[in-house]
Structure formats: C-alpha cells, structure tokens
Amino acid sequence: MGAVGELTGLRPARLEAVVALGAHCDDLAIGAGGTLLTLCAGRPGLRVDALVLSGGGTEREDEERAALAAFCPGADLAVTVLKLPDGRLPVHWDEAKDALEDLRARTAPDLILAPWPGDAHQDHRGLATLVPTVWRGCPALGYEIVKWDGDLGRPSVYQPLAPGVAETKVRLLQEHYPSQRHRPWYDREAFLGLARIRGIECGAAYAEAFHTSKLIIDLASGG
C-alpha cells in the first residue's frame, strides 16, 4: 500500500464512448488533444462524439474537422460544429442547452471532456456550467486552456502523456489550425511548457490536467 498522499492511477473497467465538448474550434485539441490521442491509441474503435458550439460554416469548421480526425485516429468519430457567435454564449444559453440535450438523447458516454467552470472565458465557463445540468452520473473532466487571463487553477486529475504523444499534439495543433498561428500564445513553448509542468506534478514527463467536481468511488472488495 502506498503512503498517504501518494499518486495512484485509476483505470476504468469500461470506456467505450466519449463525449468531447468545446465552445470554440481548437478548444478540445488544446485542452485534451493528448488525452484523445492516448484514448484512441489504446481503444481502437472508441466512439467519440464531439460538439463544438461556434465556428460552423467558416474555415474554422474545416480546420476542426480535419484536426479532430487526426487527434482521434481509428475512432468512430462524429463531429458537430454549430454557429453560435464567439463570445456570446451567455445570451445564447437556450441554444447551447438544446444542443447538449440533443446530444445526450443520442449518446451514452462513459466519459465527458469539457471546459472547467473556473475558466475565465465566458463561453468556456458557460459550457462547463451546462454540462452537469445535462449529464448526471457520468464522469466529467474539465480541461484547461492557457491564456492571457491567468486562470490556470490547481487540477487534481492527470493523464500522463508519453513524450511522443506530447510532441504529436503540438505538431497537430500547428498543422491543423493555421488561422490561429498569428496569436502570441499559440506556439510550441506554451503547449509543451504547460504539459511539462503538469507532468512534473504527476511524476511524468508530460501530462494534461483536468478538474472534476464530483467523483464516486466503490471501495467494496472485488470477488
């Protein structure tokens, strides 16, 4: 038995379907791209239903579809990109809620990847707030996105990334989102640097970190 406070890994017995939610095109890839690569590599045929609330009908939708196909190799992938205006989710609450409810009606996820409620961006935060009103009883991990606001928190859940996976994530981000390359924070150092810090925190080379508000465990002895 490990010492109190020692990091311990939990491996779900069943993980066949994932719902991946983003407010904007590239949110999922930035916040959970390495985790998606890891999941899909270990579970060929994994069902991934991705819903992005904004960017539909623009070049960003084309970027997102190509990127998610690259981040989810071998997965049974479905991508929906809506046309909610960027930065206006609070006043499009009903449309966002309806989109999530529609997705719930046709999916049965074992895991949800979404933004976390402490994110400073109103669209990210709004989406995070909606998730537990739509899905109850399903594990939900809130990913983080480094930004000017300085809103990185103290996550408690980590997915270690092999060095090759971390490098692949950074390469795919650069390849698939040319519309974002001009942004001063959108570079290799930012993405790999945060992954290295999160790796240090969990005893790995690199990692992605997540927040969760509720975790149910079963400590009954197995038979």
What is the CA 171 to chain-centroid distance, rounded? 17
Mean pLDDT of 194-199: 98
91-100: per-residue pLDDT in tens?
A: 899 999 999 9
Q: Looking at the predicted structure, is the pLDDT value of residue 205 above 80? A: yes
Q: Please, are residues 113 and 18 in contact by the beta-carbon 8 Å criterion?
A: yes
Instruction: Quote the pTM value.
Output: 0.93
- Written in H, E and C, the secondary structure of the chain is CCCCCCCCCCCCCCCCEEEEEECCCCHHHHHHHHHHHHHHHHCCCCEEEEEECCCCCCHHHHHHHHHHHHHCCCCEEEEEECCCCCCCHHHHHHHHHHHHHHHHHHCCCCEEEEECCCCCCHHHHHHHHHHHHHCCCCCEEEECCCCCCCCCCCCCEEEEECHHHHHHHHHHHHHHCHHHCCCCCCCHHHHHHHHHHHHHHHCCCEEEEEECCCCCCCCCCCC
From residue 69, how far is each of 36, 143, 199 by CA, in Å? 10, 19, 26
Residue 160's nearest CA partner among 38, 21, 29 is: 38
From residue 182, how far is each of 16, 149, 174 by CA, in Å? 37, 18, 11
Q: Looking at the predicted structure, is the pLDDT value of residue 87 above 90? A: no
Q: Looking at the predicted structure, is the pLDDT value of residue 200 above 90? A: yes
Q: Looking at the predicted structure, is the pLDDT value of residue 14 above 50? A: yes
How many angstroms separate the CA atoms of 142 and 174, rounded? Answer: 23
42-77: per-residue pLDDT in tens?
A: 999 999 999 999 999 999 999 999 999 999 999 999
- Looking at residue 218, its pLDDT comes to 73
- Amino acid letter, residue 72: C
Q: Looking at the predicted structure, is the pLDDT value of residue 107 above 70? A: yes
